[in-house]
Structure 1
C-alpha cells in the first residue's frame, strides 16, 4: 500500500450537515464526504484491492467506490482531517492479516473438573425425583 498515491486518489466533497444548528448550519457546508475508487487505485496491489473489497463491502457501492463521511466538527477543515484519518485506519485494518489460531487441547485437570461438575449436577437432579418410584 502506497499512502502517498492513495492520498492523491481521494476525492473530497463538502455538503451541508444534517441536524440542528441554526443559521450557521443552514449556510455552510461542513460535512465532508470522502470517495475512493478501490478498483482503479494505483496505490494498491490486486491482492490488497480484493481484501479491501471483501472486508469493507458494506461501505463500498456498486461502482466500487468506498464512501466515508464525517460531520463531527463545525469546521470543514477538521472534518476533512478526521475523515482522512478514518479512511487510513479502515484501510490498514482491512489489510491486516489475522493471526493463525493455535490448536489447543483441554488439560487433564480441566476434563476431570468438568466431569465432576456434570456428576454433581446429575445427582442434584436425581434427588429431585420422587423416591417412591
Structure 2
C-alpha cells in the first residue's frame, strides 16, 4: 500500500505505469531508451478515495484529467526509469495530499479605519505630485 495520509492509502494495482521515450535533448540515449514514465490513475473508480477528496482532486488535476476521469502524470526529469517512476508516484501522492485538506472558508472582512485613512492620504499625496507635473498654460 502507498501511504498518502493517515486515512488514505492507495493500492499499487490502482496505478498504471507505462514507459515512454522522453522528449527534449539528451543525445543518442534519448532516442534508444524509454526512460520517461506515464502514470495513469483512475480518480472516479478508485475505492481508496473519499468522495470529498475525489471531487477536490478532479478540480486540482485540471487538464491532466481525461474526460473518463483518469489522471495522467508524466515524469521525465531523471535518466532512469525507476527514479522517474518514483517521481511520478510522489507527485500523485502530493496532489492527493493537497486534495485531502479541505480549504478554509473565507470569512469576509472589512478594512480598518487606519488602513482607509492611509489609503486616502497616499491618494492625496499622489494627486499632489501629479498636479505639480501638469504643464500650466500661460493664460492661468
Give secondary structure in 2 for the equivalent of 1:56: helix
In structure 1, the residue matched to 2:76 is 71
2-structure distance, mates of 1:78, 1:125: 59
Q: List alignment gaps of at least 5 residues for structure 2.
A: 1-6
Say what the alpha-carbon RMSD is for the aligned residues: 2.4
- The TM-score, its normalising length taken from structure 2, stands at 0.77
Is structure 2 residue 13 aligned with structure 1 residue 8?
yes
In structure 1, the residue matched to 2:49 is 44
Is structure 2 residue 112 aligned with structure 1 residue 107?
yes
1-structure distance, mates of 2:8, 2:118: 53
Q: List alignment gaps of at least 5 residues for structure 1.
A: none
Residue 122 of structure 1, CA deviation: 4.2
Deviates more, 1:120-129 or 1:100-109: 120-129
Residue 24 of structure 1, CA deviation: 2.6
- The TM-score, its normalising length taken from structure 1, stands at 0.80
When you count helix as a share of all residues, which structure comes out higher?
1
Q: How many residues align?
A: 132
| Contact residue 56 and residue 94 of structure 1 kept, 8 A | no
